[in-house]
Chain A
């Protein structure tokens, strides 16, 4: 059973550009979560899906962020008009029940 995979692993972009990240969960995991983590902080919840339904989205999440999981399998997270403050590690996790397993993350640097 392969783990959670994320692509790309690293992304450098210029302020104002759009970026999209992909997450492939562990097969048969029906829940998929996105978190963001900055240096010295714990992961901060962004949004999560059960199958293809987006069940919760953080109130702190700007309208520039959108996530999809169209077929209940992989998910994409898009950030539009990136800002320097978006620089962080973006983590994806999946679960079948309560326990979440994390992917390797995508490290974003906005110049």
Chain B
């Protein structure tokens, strides 16, 4: 079992819809959780960070964290074709190394 698992893709949504991306992690002592967006051939770009249980909203993006269930999610509202990318979930302990999932590829169709 991988330390960080993301729902298998690809995920396809129509423009304007809500895209829901999920991630589970195995290390209960993990402290920091991140979502990165990665366009093909490019490096990961930070979208959201979340450290405590609950929801965190930033524009069209909402991250949700449930430490009891070891679950992190990312919601993208009003999805745009420019949101089409691979989304990586990352988990970190004590500002050390990050452990990444293999990503979920999202396609937003016009």
Q: Count contacts on A: residues with CB < 8 A to the other chain.
A: 25
The range of chain B's interface size is: 20 to 34
Residues 1-43 (chain B) with a chain A CB within 8 angstroms = 4, 31-32, 34, 36, 42-43
A62 to B13, CA, bound (A): 41
Q: Chain A interface mostly helix, strand, loop or mixed? A: strand
Please count the residue pairs between chain A and chain B whose beta carbons lie under 8 angstroms apart in the complex. 59
Q: Which of A39-47, A68-76, A78-86 contacts B (4 or more CB under 8 A)?
A: A39-47
Closest to B6 in A: A42
Inter-chain pairs besides A98-B95, A99-B46, 16 sampled, C-beta below 8 Å: A42-B100, A42-B101, A43-B98, A45-B99, A48-B96, A55-B96, A56-B97, A91-B44, A93-B98, A99-B49, A100-B34, A100-B90, A102-B43, A102-B46, A104-B43, A105-B43
- Interface residues, chain B, with chain A CB atoms under 8 Å away: 4, 31-32, 34, 36, 42-46, 49, 51, 88, 90, 92, 95-103
26 contacts between A and B (CB under 8 A): A33-B97, A35-B100, A40-B102, A41-B102, A42-B4, A42-B88, A42-B101, A42-B102, A43-B88, A43-B100, A44-B100, A45-B97, A48-B97, A89-B43, A98-B32, A99-B32, A99-B34, A99-B46, A100-B90, A100-B98, A102-B36, A102-B43, A102-B44, A102-B45, A103-B43, A104-B43
